[in-house]
Amino acid sequence: MTSLAFSPCPNDTFIFHALVHGCSSAFGVDFDPPVLADVETLNRLALESKFDVTKLSFHAYGHVLDEYQLLNSGAALGRGCGPLLVSRDGTIDFKRDTIAIPGELTTAAMLLQLFGGGDVLVKVMGFADIMEAVLKGDVDAGVIIHESRFTYEALGLQCVQDLGNWWEEFSGFPIPLGGIVARKSLGPDVIGRIDKAICSSIEYGHANPSESLEYIKANSQEIDSDVVTRHIKLYVNSFSTQLGEEGRGAVDFLLQAGRQNNLF
């Protein structure tokens, strides 16, 4: 049996719904029931080589290149979908302020360090707790991800910097947030079939979007249908079906930037 883990966020549950519910082909791969956990937990478990197939942040991927192979399907990568640095008044002082991040190994944390020039004062917390912490003044600012980008303005927070837009201007590439990796020891044949299975699951989801909604809402921090739909449209795109040359280039550039800034 092949162990599988991904996050409960709408883009991941949309991607894997058909596969884990038997609606699309597994191409002969026998998967264990999936483990769902927040992405930073998955990042940490990837360092321990816990799962055969797992979602992780591309920041974390830079630490496990010897153990895992990046799949062509299932990635969260695109333009206009990066993390947002927010505060109560739309300003920040990198020399003084404490910034909440959704995990040390998230791509969001990596982008903050690159944008801030390193040595940024951070406090790690769950991504779902960051906006409230900023509002209460427990931290001066926060890097928000996932569904939070659709709701922060309604809570009265202001965007200091769209880190995704900054990355696109800096690199010329779309922002690579997270991907699906498979243990190299599975071998090229099995890894190829896993890749096909995930691609097939995505294609089924696009063809039958209403079928996955109950599963998505049951696991999401945000259950508003409009927010869920916007989330999926933003994070599940053509790169999710096939990374392609541009997607691979974006990942390679991010890894190179991480090495140059001693983040791995």
Active-site residues: which are they?
A: 146
Residue 164 in contact with residue 81, Cβ under 8 Å?
Answer: yes
CB neighbour class for 156 (10 Å; exposed up to 12, middle 13-18, buried from 19):
exposed
Strands 141-144 and 84-87: antiparallel
CA angle centred on 227, ends 19 and 129, rounded to 5°: 95
Cα atoms found within 13 Å of the Cα of residue 22, Cβ hemisphere only: 3
Measure the CA–CA gap between 43 and 167, rounded to whole angstroms.
22
Measure the CA–CA gap between 222 and 196, rounded to whole angstroms.
29
Classify residue 157 by its DSSP letter: -
Measure the CA–CA gap between 254 and 26, rounded to whole angstroms.
31
Measure the CA–CA gap between 78 and 58, rounded to whole angstroms.
13
